């Protein structure tokens, strides 16, 4: 247990130079929105952190509860022009960087529920929300915002999440200093961003082969088992009837049975 505040001087001194502007806000609607609203005046590598968010956003329109000092609420601005594969890569390396960081800092080993939630002992402890804007001619991106939220000390969750969500503090007696975790995360994130070779690493941290899952796609719901991550970063699931489906992160919700 430790509720130290986020320490700007220390973080700035210990993260890669790529993260050239760092803002730590006390309270904000959403760190992703702060970046979106100021994207034109800031460079790639801008990091926004907040002690609390009043309108923290999750995927698929959900809320990400972000009470003061209870979690890590972090957004990063990237401007990756003309790189069609980058979204897929970011969707995989962001949870991978955090999974490794949690392991390196606290010895806990989260599993990545494809594409980018982190679970520990059957509970969700972190999530990723990536937002982007394509250029007018749709051929490149104006920007990409990577948002990651980690439950560190959170004990209150929205009713629909209370049975599946938990915090790092539920699983360790270690001192949980959010500064350590953030520094490690940004360092690992930059290393993976520069790497071409992260798929096998991701496979080591994702839901293991054979894990039973329920897939919902629009009005269709079916059960199956995780088979593998293919070379494009898509999840291949074997349905109970023996056929295989390739899941695309934009359109699939995956629930652990």
Binding site for ligand BTN (CB under 6 A): 30-32, 53, 56-59, 62, 64, 73-75, 117, 127-129, 147-149
Considering beta carbons, is residue 42 or 62 the nearer one to ligand BTN?
A: 62
Considering beta carbons, is residue 30 or 211 the nearer one to ligand BTN?
A: 30
In angstroms, what is the minimal distance from the CB of 115 to ligand BTN? Answer: 11
Strands 22-28 and 47-53: parallel
Closest CA to 78 of 99, 95, 66, 94: 94
Considering beta carbons, is residue 59 or 79 the nearer one to ligand BTN?
A: 59
Considering beta carbons, is residue 58 or 140 the nearer one to ligand BTN?
A: 58
* DSSP codes, 203-231: HHHBSPTT-EEEEEETTEEEEEEEEEE-T
User: Rounded to whole angstroms, what are the CA distances from 246 to 52, 60, 99, 192?
Assistant: 37, 20, 24, 25
Signed CA dihedral, 40, 41, 44, 46: sign only: negative
152: left (phi over 0), alpha (psi -120 to 50) or beta: alpha
Closest CA to 45 of 72, 80, 73, 14: 80
Considering beta carbons, is residue 27 or 244 the nearer one to ligand BTN?
A: 27
Considering beta carbons, is residue 131 or 140 the nearer one to ligand BTN?
A: 131
Cβ neighbours, 10 Å, residue 14: 15
In angstroms, what is the minimal distance from the CB of 31 to ligand BTN? Answer: 4
Considering beta carbons, is residue 130 or 193 the nearer one to ligand BTN?
A: 130
Instruction: Compute the distance between CA of residue 244 and CA of residue 226 in angstroms, rounded to an integer.
Output: 10
72: its two tokens: 């890590």
Residue with smallest beta-carbon separation from ligand BTN? 127
In angstroms, what is the minimal distance from the CB of 127 to ligand BTN? Answer: 2
In angstroms, what is the minimal distance from the CB of 14 to ligand BTN? Answer: 20
In angstroms, what is the minimal distance from the CB of 170 to ligand BTN? Answer: 17
Tell me whether the omega of the peptide bond preceding residue 45 falls within 30 degrees of 0, making it cis.
Answer: no
CA dihedral (145, 151, 156, 157) in degrees, to 10, reads 50
In angstroms, what is the minimal distance from the CB of 147 to ligand BTN? Answer: 3
In angstroms, what is the minimal distance from the CB of 57 to ligand BTN? Answer: 4
């Amino acid at each position: 247990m430790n509720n130290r505040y986020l320490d700007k001087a220390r973080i700035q001194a210990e993260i890669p130079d790529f993260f050239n502007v760092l803002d730590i806000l006390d309270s904000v609607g959403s760190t992703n929105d702060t970046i979106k609203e100021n994207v034109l005046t800031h460079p790639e590598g801008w990091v926004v952190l907040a002690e609390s968010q009043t309108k923290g956003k999750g995927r698929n329109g959900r809320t990400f509860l972000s009470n003061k000092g209870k979690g890590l609420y972090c957004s990063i601005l990237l401007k990756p022009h003309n790189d069609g594969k980058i979204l897929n890569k970011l969707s995989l390396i962001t949870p991978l960087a955090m999974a490794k960081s949690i392991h390196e800092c606290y010895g806990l080993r989260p599993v990545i529920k494809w594409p980018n939630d982190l679970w520990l002992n059957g509970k969700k402890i972190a999530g990723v929300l990536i937002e982007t804007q394509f250029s007018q001619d749709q051929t490149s991106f104006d920007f990409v915002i990577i948002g990651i939220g980690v439950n560190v000390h959170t004990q209150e969750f929205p009713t629909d999440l209370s049975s599946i969500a938990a915090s790092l503090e539920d699983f360790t007696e270690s001192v949980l200093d959010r500064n350590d975790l953030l520094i490690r995360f940004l360092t690992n994130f930059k290393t993976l961003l520069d790497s071409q070779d992260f798929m096998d690493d991701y496979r080591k941290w994702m839901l293991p082969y054979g894990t039973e899952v329920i897939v919902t796609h629009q009005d269709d719901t079916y059960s199956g088992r995780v088979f593998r991550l293919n070379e494009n970063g898509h999840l291949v699931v074997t349905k109970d009837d023996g056929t295989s489906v390739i899941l695309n992160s934009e359109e699939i919700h995956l629930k652990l049975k």
